[in-house]
């Protein structure tokens, strides 16, 4: 038998009687406390919660994904080209990927504009007024310029 001495019940009071226990008698051990999940598991769960909606949005076809911009009204840009100047001159315009861009051109003489898109495009226009349509599908900054005047006309910010 083993004796375990304890502290007094009250400060300044008499000490308690020794408690004796049989060696075979054991106190029940409490169940081990659940450990918190390792940070890797928490990060993986958080990442899964964030990525599932994004991946679900990517499940549509290319036609479905681009339908919002292609269904939107076209962006019309008025362009005036004379023998020695162009207006606008380097303005930035936001457009959606796949959205139609209409260049409403008023030119003194026939010419062409270079579109720095992927793939590159060349837009020929006659003398007088005309409308030239473009569709840019790759997001980024696309410059439309006149090589004859060596001047950027407009920058399309394709999103």
Where exactly are the structural domains of the chain?
65-158
> In Å, how far are 4, 46, 53, 70 from 56, measured between CA atoms?
65, 16, 5, 21
Q: What angle do CA 116, 121, 123 make, to 5 degrees?
A: 110
Global pTM?
0.57
Between 10-19, 54-63, 74-83, 142-151, the lowest mean confidence (pLDDT) is in 54-63
Residue 62 pLDDT class (50, 70, 90 cuts): very low
123, 112 in Cβ contact below 8 A?
yes
Write down the pLDDT at residue 63: 41
Beta strand pairing status for 91-95 and 151-158? parallel
Q: What is the pLDDT of residue 72?
A: 87
- Burial of residue 134 (CB within 10 Å: 0-12, 13-18, 19+) is buried
Q: Report the chain's mean pLDDT, rounded to a whole number.
A: 78
CATH 3.30.56.10 fits domain 65-158: no
Nearest Cα neighbor of 115 from 147, 72, 76, 86 is 147
Residue 12 CA to residue 40 CA, distance in Å, equals 53
- Sign, Cα dihedral of 85, 131, 93, 59: negative
């Amino acid at each position: 038998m083993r004796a375990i001495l304890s502290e007094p019940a009250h400060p300044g009071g008499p000490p308690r009687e020794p408690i004796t226990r049989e060696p075979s008698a054991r106190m029940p051990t409490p169940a081990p406390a659940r450990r918190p999940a390792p940070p890797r598991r928490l990060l993986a769960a958080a990442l899964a919660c964030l990525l599932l909606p994004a991946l679900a949005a990517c499940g549509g076809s290319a036609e479905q994904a681009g339908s919002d911009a292609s269904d939107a009204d076209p962006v019309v840009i008025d362009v005036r080209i004379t023998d020695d100047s162009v207006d606008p001159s380097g303005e930035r315009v936001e457009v959606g990927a796949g959205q139609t861009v209409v260049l409403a051109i008023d030119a003194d003489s026939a010419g062409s504009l270079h579109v720095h898109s992927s793939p590159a495009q060349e837009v020929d226009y006659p003398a007088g007024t005309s409308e030239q349509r473009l569709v840019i599908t790759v997001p980024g900054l696309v410059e439309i310029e006149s090589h004859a005047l060596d001047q950027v006309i407009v920058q399309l910010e394709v999103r």
